[in-house]
Amino acid sequence: MARKGAQQSDPGRRPGSPAAAVASTRAPASLERGFALALALSLVLSLTILYVHEQLEATHGTYTSFCNVGTRVNCDAVLGSSYGTLLGVPVALWALLTYLALSALLVMRRRTVGDARRRVTALLLGLSVWSLVFSLYMAALAAFAIGVICLLCSGLYVLNGTLAALAWLLARADAAPGRPTITMRQMAAGAALMIGGLAVFAGAQHRGTTAGLDLTAADVETKNPDFYKWYTGLPLAEGLPPGEHARGPADAPITVVEFSDFECSFCGKAFRDLRDVEQRHEGLIRVEFHHFPLDTSCNTHVQATVHTFACDAAIAAECAARSGRFWEYHDRLFGGQDRLSRANLVDTAVELGIDRGTFVACLDDAAARERVVADTAEGARLGVRSTPTMFINRRPIEGALDRSLYDYVLALERHS
């Protein structure tokens, strides 16, 4: 009887039994479901990122997404930068196409068996790992080249890591008995392809970020004769005020004297575009900031108040300057143009380490207001009527330039 009982307890444990077969297929099925779920989330997230990118393009950078949290955490700054596209195509669209390809491979895997399934799974693994590698590359660009965190992009990076891990587990489940999940030859070929792909894409982005440096004035005239005629025909302004708030080397070949309003959406676009140009061409550009809030409470040179918080924001920036934090505060204000109430202005200062009491007292200090008023008087003297108004090497430009035109400006000013 003992022998019979032992025989009854064996079948579920033997590798070749039906119960073992069910157990061996249960894990891959759950892995497939997990992969499909992560893939679905990735598709939704990439579509969301693509939507934000297209809105930024359509509005010339004035659109503000829900992911625009501040200066440091700002999806708009990343997606609207030169790194937001690759070979002329939005990076989000490349991601979407990759996830569609992974979806097709997952369907093919379900419809194949044996060696055919193993080959499809190998492709699934390779493309998933490539997505993870490219995510790490883009994360490094955002952190070090742009200096901003994109929450939507970060979510996609996490999902790419999940997809790569699940694809590896599927490949292990599909591996033939006694054979490695992936051979050294496959690993070498995959690594070579990925390194080559990164080199191509990095080279393409590098060429994009150095655009304007290899152009000549003749090239600009050929590529965009209308812009060339308009820009070179602009008069040179005289008597520009000194830059009390300046960023960039004093001997930079290009100086941008900017009159701006922290509540103006087009000023926000100009800020993002200039920051992108500054980062791409470090040392070539100097930016000098001046206030011109479209608010009659501190600017008597405008006929009506357009932006109700503009004067308060400008005065607050001057108070931040007293603590040596003007540019950090400037960036925070442009990164959160819908958060310019007095309470928000104080909170932003405290976040930057400025003493709350000192800052609040400064907001009511007549001297801080007079500093803003003096800027508006200088702007009016120069004929400033709207914001942003920039003087690029003394050439007056009303409104925000299209991002692509800065490359032409670089070429014309560097070779003039």
Per-residue model confidence (pLDDT) at position 13: 45
Confidence category of residue 204, pLDDT binned at 50, 70, 90: low
Residue where the block lists tokens 């540019």? 327
pLDDT in tens, 251-296: 999 999 999 999 998 898 899 888 888 877 888 899 999 999 999 9
CA pair distance 194, 186, nearest whole angstrom: 12
10-14, 237-241, 366-370, 376-380, range with the lowest pLDDT: 10-14
Which of 171, 205, 239 is where one domain is finished?
205
Confidence category of residue 181, pLDDT binned at 50, 70, 90: low
11-20, 83-92, 112-121, 206-215, range with the lowest pLDDT: 11-20
CA pair distance 310, 98, nearest whole angstrom: 44
Q: In what order do the strands lie in the sheet with 389-392?
A: 245-247, 285-291, 254-260, 389-392, 395-398
Q: What is the pTM of this model?
A: 0.63
CA pair distance 388, 293, nearest whole angstrom: 10
Residue 97 has pLDDT above 50, yes or no: yes
Q: How many domains does the chain have?
A: 2
Residue 243 has pLDDT above 90, yes or no: no
Same domain as 230, residue 187 = no
Same domain as 313, residue 252 = yes
Confidence category of residue 212, pLDDT binned at 50, 70, 90: low
Across the chain, how many H-helices and E-strands are there?
16, 7
Region at 248 (left for phi over 0; alpha for psi -120 to 50; beta for the rest): left
pLDDT in tens, 20-55: 444 444 557 899 999 999 999 999 999 999 999 898
Average pLDDT value for residue range 291-319: 96
Same domain as 405, residue 259 = yes
Residue 9 has pLDDT above 50, yes or no: no
Residue 58, Cβ density class (10 Å: 0-12 exposed, 13-18 middle, ≥19 buried): exposed
Flag whether 4 is in a domain.
no
Flag whether 393 is in a domain.
yes
With both helix axes pointing from N to C terminus, report the angle between 310-322 and 342-351 in degrees, rounded to the nearest 10.
Answer: 20
Average pLDDT value for residue range 355-367: 96
Per-residue model confidence (pLDDT) at position 131: 93
Q: Name, in order, each residue with C-beta under 8 angstroms of 251's C-beta and a sequence gap of 6 or more.
A: none
Per-residue model confidence (pLDDT) at position 340: 94
Residue 157 near residue 164, CB atoms below 8 Å = no
Residue 292 near residue 261, CB atoms below 8 Å = yes
Q: Which domain holds residue 120?
A: 22-205
Confidence category of residue 7, pLDDT binned at 50, 70, 90: very low
3-class SS letters over 122-187 = HHHHHHHHHHHHHHHHHHHHHHHHHCCECHHHHHHHHHHHHHHHHHHHHHHHHCCCCCCCCCHHHH
Per-residue model confidence (pLDDT) at position 263: 94
Average pLDDT value for residue range 151-177: 92
CATH of the domain at 48: 1.20.1440.130
Per-residue model confidence (pLDDT) at position 19: 46
CA pair distance 279, 287, nearest whole angstrom: 12
Residue 236 has pLDDT above 50, yes or no: yes
Same domain as 93, residue 189 = yes
Half-sphere exposure of 157 (CA within 13 A, CB side): 15
Q: What is the mean pLDDT of the chain?
A: 86
Same domain as 200, residue 261 = no
Per-residue model confidence (pLDDT) at position 145: 72
With both helix axes pointing from N to C terminus, report the angle between 405-414 and 265-280 in degrees, rounded to the nearest 10.
Answer: 50
More confident residue, 27 or 317: 317
260 phi, psi to nearest 5 deg = -140, 170
Which of 205, 236, 252 is where one domain is finished?
205
CATH of the domain at 386: 3.40.30.10
Residue 98 has pLDDT above 80, yes or no: yes
More confident residue, 68 or 139: 139
